[in-house]
Amino acid sequence: MSTSFKNDQHNRVCKMLSFALTLENDPVAWSGLSTVLQVRLSGFERSCLLMAVVGSMAAEDVEYVVGEVRKRQGIGMPLPPLFDASDEASWWADHASPEERKAVLVAAFLSLSHRDRDAFLASASRRDAA
């Protein structure tokens, strides 16, 4: 049975969804569906679709999926600085996910000498008090 919508974008989304469903466990097909949804549907349409899907899932499955999506939304680890390390670090921190910022902060702090850790904590305390 073929369904045809007046809106060509909706026809394309339905076709891609049928491909993904037919290919079942092929992660590439499902990631392709994500791209098609982003390009062919409005933010409102995607939000409504998301709410319908989430409403059909168990709470623990929703938590798992949201966690996986959040992991993939980060921008990755910072690259070595080309020019000014401070400016590039600030740019990265502005764009990184909270989990990425926390991981890099802890790793950077633990890599410091005890003297540098103490100086950092003293500086942070002064800024916090101000």
Quick check: 20 pLDDT over 90?
no
Please tell me the predicted confidence (pLDDT) of residue 74: 67
Cα–Cα distance between 92 and 105 in angstroms, integer?
12
Q: Which domain holds residue 25?
A: 8-72
103 occurs within a structural domain: yes
Element (H, E) at 86: helix 85-95
Cα–Cα distance between 94 and 98 in angstroms, integer?
10
Between the ranges 4-13, 19-28, 97-106, 121-130, where is the mean pLDDT highest? 97-106
58 with 16, same domain: the answer is yes
79 occurs within a structural domain: no
Query: Is the whole-model pTM more than 0.75?
Result: no
pLDDT digits (tens, 9 = 90+) for 57-73: 999 998 888 877 777 66
Element (H, E) at 127: helix 114-129
Q: For the chain, list the strands marked E by DSSP.
A: none
pLDDT digits (tens, 9 = 90+) for 71-94: 766 666 676 666 778 888 888 888
Element (H, E) at 108: helix 98-111
14 with 65, same domain: the answer is yes
